[in-house]
Amino acid sequence: MVEPVLFTNVNLFDGHGLRGQGMAVLCQDGKIKAVDRDGQFPAGQKRLDLGGRTLMPGMTVGHWHGEFVSIGPPMFAEGRGGVYLGTELPPALLALAGANALRIALNSGVTRVVGGSCSNDLDAQLKMAVEHGLIVGPHITAASRHVVATADHEDRGVWWRSDPPAHHDVRRIGHNVFADGPAAFCKAVRQEIWRGAEIIKLVPSGGHGYGWSSRYRGLNKAELNAAVTAAHERDARVRAHTSTKEVILECLEAGVDIIDHGDYMDDSCIERMVKQGTIFCPSLLFTKMVSHAGGPDHDEAEQHDRAWTNMKTMLKRANEAGITIVPGDDYGAMGMEHAEGIYARELAVYVYDYGIAPVDVLRWATLNGAKLAGREGSSGAIIPGADADLIVVNGDPVANIDILSRPDEYLDIVMLGGRYIRNRLDRETPVGAS
- 225-235 pLDDT, tens digit each: 999 999 999 99
Mean pLDDT of 281-300: 87
Model confidence band, residue 2 (pLDDT cutoffs 50, 70, 90): confident
- Give the DSSP H/E element, type plus range, for residue 303: helix 303-321
pLDDT for residue 207: 73
Who wins on pLDDT, 193 or 217? 193
Which CATH number is 59-372's, of 3.40.30.10, 3.30.360.10, 3.20.20.140, 3.20.20.80? 3.20.20.140
pLDDT score, position 428: 40
| pLDDT score for 159 | 66
Average pLDDT of the segment spanning 244-273? 97
pLDDT tens for 295-331 read: 888 887 788 888 899 999 999 999 999 999 999 999 9
Chain mean position to CA 47: 33
Burial class (CB in 10 A: 0-12, 13-18, 19+), 322: exposed
**Tell me, what's the pLDDT at 304?**
81
Residue spans per domain, the chain: 5-57+382-423, 59-372
Which of 52-61, 74-83, 144-153, 250-259 has the lowest average pLDDT?
A: 74-83
Give 415's strand partners. 390, 420
Confidence (pLDDT) at 430 = 35
Residue 434 is predicted with a pLDDT of: 33
Q: What is the pLDDT of residue 163?
A: 63
- 177-196, pLDDT tens digit by residue? 999 999 999 999 999 999 99
Class of domain 5-57+382-423: mainly beta
Question: Among 16-25, 214-223, 231-240, 394-403, where is mean pLDDT lowest?
Answer: 214-223
Quote the percentage of the chain above a pLDDT of 90: 78
CA separation (Å) from 365 to 62, 355, 385? 8, 16, 20
Burial of 157 by CB count in 10 Å (0-12 exposed, 13-18 middle, 19+ buried)?
Answer: middle
pLDDT class for 432, splitting at 50, 70, 90? very low
Give exposure, 276-303, as e/b (b: 16+ Cβ within 10 Å). Answer: eebbbbbbbbbbbbbbebeeeeeeeeeb
Q: Which of 43-57, 125-139, 406-420 has the lowest mean pLDDT?
A: 43-57
Report yes or no: 116 and 260 within 8 Å, Cβ to Cβ.
yes
Phi, psi (deg, nearest 5) at residue 414: -125, 125
